[in-house]
Amino acid sequence: MKVPLLDLKAQYATIRSEIEPVVKDIFESQYFINGPVVKKFEEATARYIGVSHAIGCASGTDALLLALMALGVGRGDEVITTPYTFFATAGSIARLGAKPVFCDIRSDTYNLDPDKLEKLITPKTKAVIPVHLYGLTADMGRINDIAGSHGIPVIEDAAQAIGASSPLGKAGTLGTIGCFSFFPSKNLGGAGDGGMVVTNDSALAEKITMLREHGSKPKYYHSIVGINSRLDALQAAVLTIKLRHLDAWTDGRISNAASYRKLFSDKGLKDIVLPDVPQGHRHIFNQFVIRVKERDSLREFLTGREIGTEIYYPVPLHQQECFSGLGYKKGDLPESEKAAGCTLALPIYPELTREMQEYVVDAIAEFYGK
Ligand SMILES: *Cc1c(COP(=O)(O)O)cnc(C)c1O
């Protein structure tokens, strides 16, 4: 048996008949940038998330960049974020000439640890970016309290968390601005790059809308300098259809996570740490990440059995070469460093069958001699 980490062809097979006509419509219209199809998708996304403004852009990375630009982040500023995330979170901060300040994670949720946040705040701190890693929202109640008491806005990196919720509400509604990605491997993935910025703040929404089109309003009049970062109509058309299936797909991931839990427990694999889902949270399992001993040998063994896995992420951002100038040393952010050494993502996509999951867990049990 072959079990890939993700099988987008299996998903496409279920929606091909819905996608093909809308793609054809876009070509017939020859209206590719912004326009009515994008507007319709922005409105549908705003409704789905429960926010008043959703602004499409070219990628999740640009969503973060636009959010930071809208808040006026620039040279000399500091932005606090987690080092245990995809590079874009900190890359966007650095691209604006600001300094990423890394706050370690909690070992159970892999999300920013609010206990370590306050002491990193300085007069230069202009924003905090918690990441809802793997599809579980960060502890936004405490992060908002701490940032709020210093008057600092919070940007949610919700790239992996569309549809996730906590007892406080849905991802994207929990901070000042929320950022989403439609990279094909996200739970709501386009046919290429795409992103969305959401907010309930009308002034910020207007600024973000200007910033994504070179800061223009009206067209050809520029009171601020922006970038070119728009969502293609083609992406919006595909995503509008996929959004209708999103909750059913997410339920499939959640149900697969429950199956893994049962299978691991039946095998007596107690040393393997499964993803934590705090009370009242909807974890959307963009990734199902386990914490294991001998991770690299296990991964090699599973590759031999044609089981796809991935390491998210092998090098925490404070240890990336491009950030060596920030002066972090090994051991500075111990939980992130530990997680980078022992986490492994298993296949969790909705079309995964029970037999495939049994095959995965049997192989892991065999590796540990169970
Ligand atoms: C995917 C991702 C991004 C970037 O999104 P792109 O659409 O690929 O630019 C940012 N942050 C996190 C946590 C992500 O997983």
Please report the domains of the chain, with CATH numbers, ordered by start residue: 8-103+110-240 (3.40.640.10), 245-367 (3.90.1150.10)
- Whose CA is closest to atom 6 on ligand 1? 60
Q: Which atom number of ligand 1 is nearest to the Cα of residue 193?
A: 7
In terms of Cβ atoms closer than 10 Å to its own Cβ (0-12, 13-18, 19+), residue 270 is exposed
Q: Which atom number of ligand 1 is nearest to the Cα of residue 185?
A: 1
Residue 86: CB within 6 Å of ligand 1?
yes
Per-residue pLDDT of the chain (370 residues; tens, 9 = 90+): 999 999 999 999 999 999 999 999 999 999 999 899 999 999 999 999 999 999 999 999 999 999 999 999 999 999 999 999 999 999 999 999 999 999 999 999 999 999 999 999 999 999 999 999 999 999 999 999 999 999 999 999 999 999 999 999 999 999 999 999 999 999 999 999 999 999 999 999 999 999 999 999 999 999 999 999 999 999 999 999 999 999 999 999 999 999 999 999 999 998 899 999 999 999 999 999 999 999 999 999 999 999 999 999 999 999 999 999 999 999 999 999 999 999 999 999 999 999 999 999 999 999 999 7
Residue 187: CB within 6 Å of ligand 1?
no
The DSSP-derived string for 208-277 is: HHHHTBTTBSSTT-BSS---B---BHHHHHHHHHHHHHHHHHHHHHHHHHHHHHHHHHHTT-TTSBPPP-
359 Cα: distance to centroid of ligand 1 (angstroms): 30
Task: Classify each residue of 84-117 as buried b or exposed e, where b means 16 or more C-beta atoms within 10 Å of its C-beta.
Answer: bbbebbbbbbbebebbbbbbbbbeebbbbbbebb
Q: Which atom number of ligand 1 is nearest to the Cα of residue 186?
A: 1
pTM: 0.98
Residue 160: CB within 6 Å of ligand 1?
yes
Q: Which atom number of ligand 1 is nearest to the Cα of residue 59?
A: 7
Distance CA 316, CA 353 (A): 33
Choose the residue to mutate in 183, 230, 310 for probing ligand 1, maximizing ligand atoms within 8 Å of C-beta: 183
Distance CA 324, CA 357 (A): 40
Residue 287: CB within 6 Å of ligand 1?
no
Give per-residue pLDDT as tens, 265-298. Answer: 999 998 899 999 999 999 999 999 999 999 999 9
